[in-house]
A = this chain, B = another copy of it.
Amino acid sequence: MSVTAPQGFEAAGVAAGLKSTGKPDVAVVVNRGPLKVGAAVFTSNRAKANPIIWSQQAVADGAVEAVVLNSGGANCFTGTFGFQTTHQTAERAAELLDVSAGDVLICSTGLIGTGDEVFRQKVLDGTAAAIAGLSAAGGEDASLAIMTTDSRPKRAVRSQDGWTIGGMAKGAGMLAPGLATMLVVITTDAVLTAAEADAHLRDATRVSFDRLDSDGCMSTNDQVTLMASGASGVTPDRDAFRAALAAVCVDLAEQLQGDAEGASHDIRIVVQNAASEEDAVEVGRSVARNNLFKAAIFGNDPNWGRVLAAIGTTQAAFDPYDVDVWMNGVRVCSAGGPDAPREEVDLTPRATELVIDLKIGDATAVILTNDLTHDYVHENSAYAS
């Protein structure tokens, strides 16, 4: 169901020929109201794709009626022509939906530099076809149409107190903070103001998608959109809604992690007893981006020295000789020295937990990452071919 689980939404996914495989590649999600509330967060990459530039302007007034998404081409670094493609896509969708183009967000994903006239025509035709096929049961099709190297669609739903949140995501590589290479659409039939939608979305992404750092590479196209239809007629309890929205985002983020290109381990890095949440995040990220650590995990090698070496590159408050490191429940390093023998650590399961105890404060953060594998190198060396 994903984005059509909440009341007031229709969606569709169609094959427009953007993917050489002939699989679905254009999705549309429409908010039928009565509210037209929308909020979005975007990649912090300064090299932004054309759909990002468009959508940032379009969402500024807090009103969103539809999102058009395509895979099979990022429409990034395609110049003025590429921006016009995005603009025309919004205009076409607006005309067919009888809404304002300024309330239509656009998302694209695929190879950077793809965005010629053939691409434009296929996107425009696909948008029209998807709108013609909109239905209240179209969430599943939409989630399939945004897949790139994903091996499976990502969907999540939470219902509570008469309102529902639904979401879909795509992303399998270039997963990094400031969002990952991800497109996410989240819908809800709860009654929200635009300010509430924006604040809740920022809080939820901060502890979910922004804590996923699969390969340290930041995309040019990331976008997470929340639309609220208000169709349930229920104004949710603030804390309950925030918790449910965060749960949907964490669920989708974990699905992204579990399907990361070439990965053989899902590594959950728990940094505890840090001086601040910022410190905990910085430490977790430094480990998540350390190729030597990530290659060691691929090789089922509990190489805690590489963890401490990574921590040492941060500005976080810590004493190298007062750090404990646990891998899958075994304390391999205590007080900055060797503890349990490496042989006691079983790193064969895909689910891997690394706990870093800085013993200097009471803040905690969890960062999700993956190992560095032969398959990661292979998939990303062959991507463009």
- A residues sitting closer than 8 Å to B (CB atoms) are 45-48, 74, 76-79, 111-113, 173-174, 178, 215-220, 289-292, 295-296, 298-299, 301, 303-306, 308-314, 318, 320-321, 333, 335-338, 342, 372-374, 376-378, 380-385
For the complex formed, measure the closest distance between the CB of A319 and the CB atoms of chain B, giving whole angstroms. 10
Are A113 and B305 closer than 8 Å at their CB atoms? yes
Which residues in B have their C-beta under 8 angstroms from that of A309?
A: 45, 47, 112, 174, 217-220
Which residue from chain B places its CB closest to the CB of A313 in the assembled complex?
Answer: B218
- Complex A-B: 26 CB contacts under 8 Å: A45-B309, A45-B312, A45-B313, A46-B313, A46-B320, A47-B320, A77-B305, A77-B336, A77-B337, A78-B337, A111-B305, A112-B304, A112-B308, A113-B337, A113-B338, A216-B289, A217-B292, A217-B310, A218-B313, A220-B309, A291-B380, A295-B377, A296-B384, A301-B384, A303-B383, A374-B377
Q: How many copies of this chain does one complex carry?
A: 2
Known: A77-B305, A381-B298. Is A312-B374 also a contact (CB below 8 A)?
Answer: no
Which listed residue (B79, B305, B312) contacts A336, Cβ 8 A? B79
Which listed residue (B173, B342, B377) contacts A372, Cβ 8 A? B377
For the complex formed, measure the closest distance between the CB of A383 and the CB atoms of chain B, giving whole angstroms. 7
Are B383 and A373 closer than 8 Å at their CB atoms? no
For the complex formed, measure the closest distance between the CB of A149 and the CB atoms of chain B, giving whole angstroms. 12
Which listed residue (B74, B76, B373) contacts A377, Cβ 8 A? B373
Which listed residue (B74, B173, B312, B321) contacts A305, Cβ 8 A? B74
| Known A173-B292, A217-B306; further 18 A-B contacts with Cβ < 8 A | A47-B309, A47-B336, A77-B333, A77-B336, A77-B338, A78-B338, A79-B336, A112-B304, A113-B333, A217-B310, A291-B380, A292-B383, A296-B380, A296-B384, A301-B381, A301-B382, A303-B383, A377-B377
Which residues in B have their C-beta under 8 angstroms from that of A111?
A: 305
Known: A173-B292, A312-B48. Is A113-B299 also a contact (CB below 8 A)?
Answer: no
Are A218 and B291 closer than 8 Å at their CB atoms? no
CA distance A296 to B111 in the complex (A): 13
For the complex formed, measure the closest distance between the CB of A192 and the CB atoms of chain B, giving whole angstroms. 32
Which residue from chain B places its CB closest to the CB of A44 in the assembled complex?
Answer: B313
Which residue from chain B places its CB closest to the CB of A305 in the assembled complex?
Answer: B112
For the complex formed, measure the closest distance between the CB of A97 and the CB atoms of chain B, giving whole angstroms. 31
Which listed residue (B77, B295, B336, B337) contacts A308, Cβ 8 A? B77
Known: A79-B335, A309-B45, A313-B46. Is A381-B290 also a contact (CB below 8 A)?
Answer: no
Known: A113-B304, A295-B377, A301-B383. Is A312-B220 also a contact (CB below 8 A)?
Answer: yes
CA distance A174 to B337 in the complex (A): 20
Known: A381-B298, A384-B303. Is A220-B308 also a contact (CB below 8 A)?
Answer: yes
Are B292 and A215 closer than 8 Å at their CB atoms? yes
Are A385 and B291 closer than 8 Å at their CB atoms? no
For the complex formed, measure the closest distance between the CB of A329 and the CB atoms of chain B, giving whole angstroms. 19
CA distance A382 to B374 in the complex (A): 13
CA distance A229 to B210 in the complex (A): 54
Which residue from chain B places its CB closest to the CB of A78 in the assembled complex?
Answer: B337
Which residues in B have their C-beta under 8 angstroms from that of A291?
A: 215-217, 291, 372, 376, 380
For the complex formed, measure the closest distance between the CB of A147 and the CB atoms of chain B, giving whole angstroms. 19
